[in-house]
Amino acid sequence: KAGVTQTPRYLIKTRGQQVTLSCSPISGHRSVSWYQQTPGQGLQFLFEYFSETQRNKGNFPGRFSGRQFSNSRSEMNVSTLELGDSALYLCASSRDGGLGNEQYFGPGTRLTVT
Amino acid sequence: AQSVTQLDSQVPVFEEAPVELRCNYSSSVSVYLFWYVQYPNQGLQLLLKYLSGSTLVKGINGFEAEFNKSQTSFHLRKPSVHISDTAEYFCAVIIRGAGGTSYGKLTFGQGTILTVHP
């Protein structure tokens, strides 16, 4: 079974631009969670989607948004990029996002904002 | 607020020596507990998880962890490490019974970098 895939793997953007990251979950998984990983803040939860609905959201500004499609693929968007948005963005899929479900992580998208 | 504390940011150890990576969580509710490993330039891989039952949990690659409710700890151990175990290790929790605020939300510790020397 193919794992979680994320595209692109690397991105360089300029302050003020916007960016869209994509995540394809494991076949049959309906829940997708997104995390931001930085050296200073560590791993922080952004949001979770299930059946095209955002069920949970972390403490990030409204510039961070996401969506999920009917095939469970998910995208996240960051508008008006700031230098502090430079990070590794990880997505994870699970069967249904239930509390005991194992989350399978993708390799991440490394975003650099200059 | 839920928090996870990994007591050591870096742990150096020699090959074939035992290792323990420490994790404590603070919570007034029940939690599910996880350990993940991250190799350079990769995503996270689940090593083991505790949901309920036996407090000693065995995972992949020879790792095990023990859930101690009274100490609110979930320390990760391996009796004999290999060079290939060099990586960053993360302890994480999900709060049980918190309804919608817990869906898909892992709360991570700051990570422990394990370096195995020959």
- Integer CA distances (angstroms), B82 to A29, B18, B79, in order: 33, 10, 10
Q: What is the pLDDT of residues B64-103, one digit of tens each?
A: 999 998 999 999 999 999 999 999 999 999 887 666 667 7
CB contact under 8 A, A58 and B105: yes
The partner residues of A49 in beta bridges, in order of sequence, read A32, A54
Determine the residue of chain B that is closest to A98 in CA distance.
Answer: B103
CB contact under 8 A, B32 and A100: yes
Q: Which residues of chain A have pLDDT under 50?
A: none
Look at B97 and B33; give whichever has higher pLDDT.
B33
Q: What is the pLDDT of residues B42-61, one digit of tens each?
A: 899 999 999 888 899 999 99
Q: What is the pLDDT of residues A27-54, one digit of tens each?
A: 999 999 999 999 999 999 999 999 999 9
Q: Decide if pLDDT at B2 tops 70.
A: no
Contact with chain B for residue A99, Cβ under 8 A: yes
CB contact under 8 A, A33 and B101: no
- What pLDDT score was predicted for residue A69? 97
- What pLDDT score was predicted for residue A33? 96
Q: Decide if pLDDT at B39 tops 60.
A: yes
Q: How far is A5 from chain B (nearest CA, A)?
A: 10
Contact with chain B for residue A57, Cβ under 8 A: no
Strand A31-38 relative to strand A42-50: parallel, antiparallel, unpaired? antiparallel
List, in order, residues 6 or more apart from B95 with CB less than 8 Å away: A99, B2, B27, B29, B30, B31, B101, B102, B107
Two structure tokens written together for B68: 């101690």
- What pLDDT score was predicted for residue B1? 57
CB contact under 8 A, B105 and A31: no
Determine the Cα–Cα distance for residues B34 and A107; give it in Å rounded to an integer.
19
State mean pLDDT over B24-28. 82
